[in-house]
């Protein structure tokens, strides 16, 4: 199973807020021997969100969607998820209970009304209106839940809420996948060569060793190595060592000048 990430919000695209989700999700996945296959940033445009979610639902990937699940006019994710699924929206019973528990707690702490018919309570309950058939995702920060439909999971845009919710999903729903995407990398610094000249060797390595990917990371101003290419292979098992040996042999035949080797 692949993992994907959708990050929603005009504030990210405008630069008003810096995204903290991408690096954290990569970290959470990596700690469990998993990896992120793709990520997408979207503004608060309902048509774009709906189109992206329609693709996510059909993909079969496990997708985490961060942001836009509140109940203000610029929050469209819940409605777009329902549109992408062609399902109605409905107040989720468990979400209602959790939100009302939060309302009663605030009533005690701040003296606010806990009347279910109060306009403020009605507004809060809107945050529990999800596409029909959704499952809730518990929010340990303030009890206002997110929701899942199939393998697509919707959490708030606030990192303090979103990240524990994603971590809990990884450690429960996807615990059986831990370690499934662990890969090793072996690479070498190559001086004085152009990527175009090394491309035939890279193509040959991938063709000869199934499941192995070749990568090339050029640098023009590295403080230690200057202009160079980090050329390597990534994969699993004995094929990795064989592919790397073939890569080194190909570089020797090419007459390339090489430097330090790295294992990750």
Q: Encode pLDDT of 139-157 as tens digits.
A: 999 999 999 999 999 999 9
Q: What is the pLDDT of residue 198?
A: 92
Please list the alpha-helical segments (H only) found in the chain. 10-14, 21-30, 46-59, 77-85, 93-110, 119-125, 159-172, 195-208, 238-254
Domains assigned to the chain = 3-177 (3.40.980.10), 184-263 (3.30.70.2860)
Other C-beta atoms lying within 10 Å of the C-beta of residue 23? 9
pTM of the shown model: 0.86
Q: What is the pLDDT of residue 116?
A: 83
Q: Encode pLDDT of 214-223 as tens digits.
A: 999 999 888 8
Q: What is the pLDDT of residue 202?
A: 95
Q: Encode pLDDT of 54-71 as tens digits.
A: 999 999 999 999 999 999
Q: How far apart are the first and last CA of the chain?
A: 23
Phi and psi angles of residue 174, each rounded to the nearest 5 degrees, phi first: -115, 20
CA distance 167 to 92: 23
- 237, pLDDT greater than 90: no
Q: What is the pLDDT of residue 180?
A: 86
Q: Which of 53, 41, 130 is nearest to 84 (CA)?
A: 53
- What is the SS3 assignment for 87? coil
């Amino acid at each position: 199973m692949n993992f994907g990430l959708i990050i929603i919000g005009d504030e990210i695209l405008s630069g008003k807020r810096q995204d903290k989700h991408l690096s954290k999700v990569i970290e959470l996945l990596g700690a469990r021997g998993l990896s992120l296959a793709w990520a997408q940033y979207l503004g608060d445009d309902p048509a774009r969100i709906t189109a992206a979610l329609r693709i996510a639902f059909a993909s079969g990937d496990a997708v985490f969607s961060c942001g836009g699940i509140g109940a203000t006019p610029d929050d469209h994710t819940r409605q777009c998820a329902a549109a992408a699924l062609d399902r109605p929206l409905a107040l989720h019973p468990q979400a209602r209970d959790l939100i009302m528990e939060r309302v009663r707690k605030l009533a005690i702490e701040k003296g606010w009304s806990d009347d279910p018919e109060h306009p403020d309570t009605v507004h809060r309950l809107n945050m529990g209106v999800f596409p029909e058939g959704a499952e809730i995702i518990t929010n340990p920060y303030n009890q206002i839940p997110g929701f899942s439909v199939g393998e697509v999971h919707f959490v708030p845009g606030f990192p303090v809420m979103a990240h524990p919710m994603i971590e809990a999903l990884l450690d429960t729903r996807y615990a059986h996948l831990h370690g499934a995407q662990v890969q090793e990398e072996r690479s070498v610094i190559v001086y004085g060569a152009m990527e175009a000249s090394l491309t035939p060797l890279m193509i040959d390595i991938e063709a000869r060793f199934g499941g192995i990917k070749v990568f090339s990371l050029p640098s023009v101003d590295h403080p230690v190595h200057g202009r160079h290419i980090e050329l390597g292979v990534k994969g699993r098992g004995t094929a990795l060592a064989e592919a790397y040996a073939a890569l080194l042999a190909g570089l020797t035949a090419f007459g390339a000048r090489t430097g330090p080797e790295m294992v990750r």
